Structures are given as C-alpha cells and as structure tokens.
Amino acid sequence: MSRIGKKPVPIPAGVTAGVDGQTVKVKGPKGALELVLHGDITASVENGAVTLKPRADTKRARSMWGLSRTLVSNLITGVTQGFEKRLEINGVGYRAAVQGKNLQLALGYSHDVVYPIPEGIQIATPRPTEIVVSGIDRQKVGQVAAEIRRFRPPEPYKGKGVKYADEFIFRKEGKKK
C-alpha cells in the first residue's frame, strides 16, 4: 500500500476540480491546469477531495499511485499559490536582465545569451545577480530554471556560474606549487 497514494488531496475553497475519464482538471485563482493520469490509476472527487486508487494490484499500478497523487497535489498547489525557483549568478561581470519577452544573460561569453521566456512562466530579476522563475506548473518552472542554469553551470574551483539559491557547490582545492 502506498502511504502517499492513500491520502486524499483536499480541494481548498475557491478551487474547482473535476475528473473526466483519465483527465483531472483543476481551476483556481491563478489559472487552470489539467493532467492525464496513467491507465492503471482511477480518480474521483468525493467529500471535497480528489481520491486516487489503483485499478489492479500490480507493482506498476502501486508505483504510479503515489506519483499520480503527488502530481494532482501539485496541480492544486499551483493554481492556489504557484511555484517559484530562485537562481543566483556568481562571477565578475555576470548579470541578468529581463528585456521584453527575453532574458538577457551576460555569462562571460563573447556574446550575451538571450533566452526567450516561455508561455505561462514569469521571470523577474530583483538584482542583476538574482533570477526568480515563477509559474503555476511545477514541471515547467523547474525545467526553465534548469535550462537557464545549463548556460553556465557552477564550476567547483571558484563557484562561478548560475546556481540554484539553495544549492551547495562543493569546492575543490586549486593547483599547488
């Protein structure tokens, strides 16, 4: 039995959730999201909560049960509160700025990196060395943050590059004479 899957996902006030076959649709103050569940999982809305159950008692169905419950929970959290990832830029002359629908990054290359901001994602730069990626879809927010980080991942000697705000960079010792 899945400990996570057994828990029903409560639907807060101001949020409407519906199940149409294998599709779970959630609408809230920040927007609307939908998720197509795996074939081994059934969902139903009862007593102000979304309940998920496996169709069969197979290993695959049990493993998808907890995952599906967490994905539905992320939908409800996204339309009520939203998600955000913070990135920090370390390095001399490294900076970021939002210009229209693009994120302009100066990361020590001979040219600036221009990243087009995807639909449904907001990017803010409170300081030139800080990037805040926010949106209602957790997967999309994480993917955009990872793509921005990939332009210049942090290196282990000086820690220069783009890193997550809560990430620890293991430092290496340099050459010795």
Predicted pLDDT of residue 155 = 93
Domain definitions of the chain by residue range: 3-80, 83-164
Q: How far apart are CA 90 and CA 130, in angstroms?
A: 9
Res 105 pLDDT > 80: yes
Please give the CATH number for the structural domain made up of 3-80: 3.90.930.12
DSSP code at position 72 = H
Q: Give the pLDDT of residue 176.
A: 85
Mean pLDDT of the chain: 92
Does the pLDDT value for residue 2 go beyond 80? no
In tens, the pLDDT along 147-159 reads 999 999 999 999 8
Q: Do domains 3-80 and 83-164 have the same CATH topology?
A: yes
Most confident of 55-59, 134-138, 172-176: 134-138
| Residue 140 confidence (pLDDT) above 90 | yes
**Cα end-to-end distance, the chain, whole Å:** 59
> What does DSSP assign to residue 69?
H
CA distance 101 to 96: 13
Amino acid present at 84 = E
Strand, coil or helix: what is 165?
Answer: coil
Q: What is the mean pLDDT of residues 47-63?
A: 90
Fold of 83-164: Outer Surface Protein A; domain 3 (3.90.930)
Are the beta carbons of 98 and 124 closer than 8 angstroms? yes
Could you tell me the pTM of the whole model? 0.88
The Cα–Cα gap between 123 and 121 comes to 7
Residue 141 has pLDDT above 80, yes or no: yes
- pLDDT value for 171: 92
- Share of residues in the chain with pLDDT > 90 (%): 81
What is residue 1's predicted lDDT score, i.e. its pLDDT?
63
The residue behind tokens 């197979």 is 58
